[in-house]
């Protein structure tokens, strides 16, 4: 079993399937989905939050930023062995395409001090409503 998520004082790494996040073959987009050492800038913060925010609760950042940051939301598992593993990215794929688009049937509403998750129930009710998930967010500077 490979560790797909590695969080330490010096870096945060999420590997692609089949690669170990703690000891990847190289610090390269080929092996890693996210690594704070990659040339994409450092995240402003990373935090855990409960899945019950899907439906109106607000997640607050550790500080208030001058502008709303962008966020990534990732689900993870904690198996009985106690090592957290990557579960799924919160993205959708177009039919007949392997290209991932950052679209879903829910939308994050971003503020300077936090974010809310809203369901796009006008077109398609999100399947994530009512599920209990382990989630974390990554806030990125976009200004």
Q: Which residues contact 47 (CB under 8 A, 6 or more apart)?
A: 59, 61, 62, 136, 137, 139
pLDDT digits (tens, 9 = 90+) for 53-78: 666 678 999 999 999 988 888 777 76
| DSSP H or E segment with residue 101 | strand 100-101
CA separation for the pair 143, 140 (Å, rounded): 9
Domain ranges of the chain: 1-40, 43-140
Res 52: pLDDT: 65
pLDDT digits (tens, 9 = 90+) for 86-110: 555 555 444 455 554 445 667 778 8
Place of tokens 């010096």: 10
Residue pair 70/139 in contact (Cβ under 8 Å)? The answer is yes
């Amino acid at each position: 079993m490979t560790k797909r998520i590695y969080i330490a004082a010096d870096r945060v790494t999420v590997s692609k399937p089949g690669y170990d996040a703690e000891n990847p073959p190289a610090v390269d987009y080929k092996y890693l989905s996210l690594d704070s050492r990659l040339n994409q800038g450092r995240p402003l913060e990373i935090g855990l939050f409960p899945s019950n925010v899907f439906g109106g609760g607000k997640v607050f950042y550790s500080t208030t930023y001058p502008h709303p940051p962008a966020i990534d939301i990732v689900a993870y598992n904690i198996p009985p062995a106690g090592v957290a593993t990557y579960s799924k990215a919160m993205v959708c794929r177009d039919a007949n395409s392997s290209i991932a688009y950052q679209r879903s049937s829910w939308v994050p509403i971003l503020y300077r001090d936090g974010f809310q998750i809203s369901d796009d129930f006008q077109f398609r009710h999100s399947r994530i409503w009512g599920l209990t998930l382990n989630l974390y967010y990554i806030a990125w500077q976009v200004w």
